[in-house]
Amino acid sequence: MKQAEGKVLMGTLNKKGKRPLKSSLVTGTVTAVWLMLQATLISPPSVAQTSSREGGLTYSSLVEKIEAGEVAKVAIDPVRGVAEVRLKNQAKDSATQEVVLFGDSNPELVEAARNNNVDLEVQPSTDGGTVAWLITHGLLAFVLLMALLMFLRRTNNSSGQAMSFGKSKARFQMEAKTGVMFDDVAGIEEAKEELQEVVTFLKKPERFTAVGAKIPKGVLLVGPPGTGKTMLAKAIAGEAGVPFFSISGSEFVEMFVGVGASRVRDLFKKAKENAPCIIFIDEIDAVGRQRGTGIGGGNDEREQTLNQLLTEMDGFEGNAGIIIIAATNRPDVLDSALLRPGRFDRQVQVDLPTYKGRLGILEVHARNKKLDPSVSLETIARRTPGFSGAELANMLNEAAILTARRRKEAVTPLEIDDAIDRVTTGMTLTPLLDSKKKRLIAYHEVGHALLMTLLKNSDPLNKVTIIPRSGGIGGFAQQTFNEEMIDSGLYTRSWLLDRITIALGGRAAEEEVFGDAEITVGASNDIQVVANLAREMVTRYGMSELGPFALESGNSEVFLGRDWMARVEYSEEVATQIDHQVRAIAVRCYGESRRIIRENRELMDQLVEMLLEQETIEGEQFRQIVGQHTTLPEKQLMAAQVS
């Protein structure tokens, strides 16, 4: 018997001689609940026994009274176990007496009642205790069963999550369903051409292998935010029609060390099973930053994840047929090992669109917009240099919203102008009342606009307004910048000096008109721009009397492993000379702006009165008025002719 019991007990152990924790826990819980249910459901309901009242009848005295002929009626209630007795000499309106019975049959009582012709009835009382007992205990059993099921379900879910904690969270698409093709991506033709090779290799690899060519293992998309890097990845997925894995760099990093590396291994394992395929990692700088950088060293979890990613991309095992595409707008923070040939072989620059690119982007996003025939996409493209694809799409959407708000049937040039201003400067607020503040703002903005029109190397004025905008902007004077200069970044010294002079035009107008005691803090942002431009001219561009020396690098981010305090790259004597040169540039430009405003004071008063009346003056009208009083520079005359 003991051997049999031993065999039974051994049957519940695993191969290592230990009882499985999960199965034993579940078995113990089920057993406990079953015992509770048995104890609850099998036990009978307790019956309240009513004892005879003190001084009342007992069972034996009841039998004696029946035999003596003193009892008129006996009603037996078997549920309660009592007999209700009414005596012959008892008043009809008085209560009956109760006698506790013994057992269920009570043969002596029944026989005595029959022999003496006593009215005997068996009438059970209407007692709802049994029904209530059944309902209560049934609900209790139901609650216990539901609690058991929820416990078992949570146990299974917890174990499943624990097992999948290191699994990859990449979205997998066997066939790309992005709905984006190369025709839907405009403004970045060079990038599309390079990525078209990736699509061709995935569809027809023999075209490259026949001549011994190898497709790059990784392609890194680099560019400012909003230029269409993610859109390009969607277009590649739509064109190639191969399995497509999409994941963000931040999804690799967790608080537990080793989880990110496990997810990288799982991602590449799935990719190898579905090769040829594409892996797209968005914002790869979240996991691919330089190792061992920042204050106090690096991050163990992120660095282990990066090491695993480097090994999977180009390690001992090959990844034939797997192409990795990543996107970032911070290539300078990426680890150098990630950018070497064999990993990310090719870097595709996705720059801000040129005029033709902006025109193509506007044509794509204007497909589902109802535009008025007077709206010219060419004009919009020329007015928006420096806009990214996302900003152009947002601008057209804002114009459509304004059109619906104004209850118009189609987008007109007015909505386009308002949308451009809203994207660049902010939402329009209620115009100011005619007051001293409004007049001061008008002189400030006309000072900027007048210098934009009279300076030789300045870009032409687009418009000047005193309608306030959100963000504390009381008004603004807007230029139409030279697209070629903005795209190339080749700013001349004369252009920079005129830029500083224009920025100081608002403060110069305040001082010339209202006096030194009435200048305001409205020019604080302009003065900050002046300080930055003048210092860069001296320390980075070599455009001062100090000579062509780069005295500052302008790049000292701590999280990249650089110094906590910017390293001083020159002596104190040179630092003093830099301060003198920066001040000399600012003072010289400020004097020039005051001279021009002083010489054209009557013209400025006329322009201010017109601006106070109209609240907005377009660049063409502004140049016409200025041309009637003075000779415009050649650049401004060309702008007036184009207008």
502 lies in the same domain as 630: yes
Q: Is the dihedral of CA 418, 424, 427, 432 positive or negative?
A: negative
Please report, for the domain that includes residue 180, its CATH number.
3.40.50.300
> What integer pLDDT is reported at residue 43 of this predicted model?
46
Catalytic residue at 273? no
Task: State the average pLDDT over residues 83-98.
Answer: 79
The per-residue pLDDT for range 464-477, each reduced to its tens digit, is: 999 888 777 888 89
From 125, 154, 180, the end of a domain falls on 125
CATH number for the domain harbouring residue 574: 1.20.58.760
Q: Is residue 225 domain-shared with residue 337, that is, in the same domain?
A: yes
Weakest-pLDDT range from 55-64, 409-418, 492-501: 55-64
Q: Which of 197, 188, 282, 169 is nearest to 233 (CA)?
A: 282
Query: Alpha-carbon distance 61 to 70, whole Å?
Result: 11
Quick check: helix, strand or coil at residue 339? helix
**101 or 541, greater pLDDT:** 541
The band of 336, judged by pLDDT with boundaries at 50, 70 and 90, is confident
In this predicted structure, the answer to whether residue 533 has a pLDDT above a threshold of 90 is yes
pLDDT for the residue numbered 129: 58
For 152-174, letters b (16+ CB in 10 Å) and e give: eeeeeeeeeeeeeebebebeebe
Give yes or no: residues 414 and 462 share one domain: no
387 φ/ψ angles, rounded to the nearest 5 degrees: -75, 140
Q: Answer for the pair 507, 457: CB distance below 8 angstroms, yes or no.
A: no
CA 630/CA 560 separation, integer angstroms: 54
- What are the tens digits of pLDDT across the range 338-348? 888 888 888 88
Indicate whether 296 and 178 sit together in one domain.
Answer: yes
pLDDT at 562 over 90: no
* For range 5-11, the mean pLDDT: 40
- Long-range own/partner contacts, residues 338-341 (CB < 8 A, 24 or more apart): 338/284, 338/288, 338/306, 338/309, 338/310, 339/220
Whether 496 maps to a domain, the answer reads yes
Contact 611, 588 (CB under 8 A): no
- CA 476/CA 468 separation, integer angstroms: 9
Q: What angle do CA 465, 471, 475 make, to 5 degrees?
A: 15
pLDDT at 581 over 90: yes
- Residue 612, domain member (yes or no): yes
CATH number at residue 90: 3.30.720.210
The pLDDT value recorded for residue 127 is 52
Q: Is residue 318's pLDDT more than 70?
A: no
Same domain, 491 and 601: yes
Mean pLDDT on 531-551? 88
Q: Are residues 290 and 391 in the same domain?
A: no
Dihedral sign, Cα of residue 452, residue 458, residue 462, residue 466: negative
**Residue 465 in domain:** yes
User: Both 344 and 369 in a single domain?
Assistant: no
Determine the residue type at 142. Answer: F
Structure tokens at 625: 């008025």
Q: Are residues 389 and 327 in the same domain?
A: no
Domain count within the chain? 4
Q: What is the pLDDT of residue 160?
A: 46
Sign of CA dihedral 463, 466, 469, 474: positive
Evaluate whether 498 touches 458 at the Cβ level (below 8 Å): yes
The answer to whether residue 13 is domain-embedded is no
Domain membership of residue 233 (yes or no) is yes
CA distance 418 to 423: 9
Exposed/middle/buried for 228, CB within 10 Å: 0-12, 13-18, 19+?
A: buried
Q: Which of 352, 595, 596, 562 is nearest to 450 (CA)?
A: 596
Bridge partners of 71, per DSSP, are 87
Contacts of 478 (CB under 8 A, 6+ apart): 421, 424, 425, 461, 462, 463, 464
Mean of all residue pLDDT scores within the chain: 78
- pLDDT score recorded for residue 527: 94
Q: Residue 72: its pLDDT value, please?
A: 81
Q: For residues 438 and 610, is the Cβ–Cβ distance under 8 A?
A: no
- Higher local confidence (pLDDT), 298 or 293: 293
With b meaning 16 or more CB within 10 Å and e meaning fewer, what string describes 242-271? Answer: bbbbbbbbebbbbeeeebbbbbbbbbbebb
Question: Does 503 share its domain with 626?
Answer: yes
Q: Which two tokens stand for residue 10?
A: 């051994």
Please say which residue of 424, 445, 466 terminates a domain: 424
Same domain, 475 and 572: yes
Q: Are 279 and 326 in contact (CB under 8 A)?
A: no
* Res 161 pLDDT > 50: no
More confident residue, 3 or 190: 190
Identify the pLDDT of residue 446.
94
Stronger pLDDT, 187 or 85, i.e. the higher one:
85
Least confident among 350-354, 451-455, 560-564: 560-564
Question: What tens digit of pLDDT does each residue of 177-231 get?
Answer: 656 777 777 777 777 777 887 778 877 778 877 888 777 788 898 888 888 888 8
Which amino acid is present at 366? A
Token code pair at residue 598: 């002083």
**More confident of the two residues 140 and 48:** 140
Statement: residue 98 has pLDDT above 90 = no
Q: For residue 393, give its domain range.
A: 355-424
In this prediction, residue 34 carries a pLDDT of: 57
**Average pLDDT over every residue of 156-165:** 48
- pLDDT at position 487: 66
Least confident of 164-178, 216-230, 614-628: 164-178
C-alpha distances in Å from residue 369, one per residue of 60, 183, 362, 374, 413: 104, 18, 10, 14, 13
Half-sphere exposure of 458 (CA within 13 A, CB side): 26
CA 513 to chain centre: 49
Name the active-site residue from 251, 415, 445, 512.
445
| 36 is a domain residue | no
Alpha carbon distances (Å) from 208 to 200, 212, 231, 371: 9, 7, 26, 45
With helix as H, strand as E and coil as C, how does 582-626 read?
Answer: HHHHHHHHHHHHHHHHHHCHHHHHHHHHHHHHHCEEEHHHHHHHH
Q: How many CB atoms lie within 10 A of CB 372?
A: 15
Q: Are 408 and 501 part of one and the same domain?
A: no
CB-neighbour burial class of residue 606 (10 A; exposed 0-12, middle 13-18, buried 19+): middle
Comparing 18-22, 196-200, 379-383, the range with the smallest average pLDDT is 18-22
CA distance linking residue 137 with residue 564, whole number of Å = 71
Q: Is residue 284 part of a domain?
A: yes
Q: Is the domain of 63 the same as that of 185?
A: no
* Highest-confidence segment of 123-127, 155-159, 245-249: 245-249
Where does a domain end: 314, 334, 349? 349
Q: How confident is the model at residue 561 (pLDDT cuts 50, 70, 90)?
A: very low
Find which of 14-23, 363-372, 481-490 is predicted with most confidence, using mean pLDDT. 363-372
Half-sphere exposure of 630 (CA within 13 A, CB side): 20
Alpha carbons 152 and 23: distance in angstroms, whole number: 11
Q: From CA 540, how far away is CA 409, in angstroms rounded?
A: 52
**Distance between the two ends of the chain, CA-based, in angstroms?**
110
SS3 of residue 346 by DSSP: strand
| CATH classification of the domain holding 409 | 1.10.8.60
Instruction: Indicate whether 71 belongs to any domain.
Output: yes
Instruction: Please state the φ and ψ torsions of residue 565, each to the nearest 5 degrees.
Output: -105, 140
More confident residue, 287 or 552: 287
Mean pLDDT, residues 601-619? 92
Mean pLDDT of 431-445: 84
Which residue is listed with tokens 């497509």?
Answer: 244
0.85 cut: is pTM over it? no
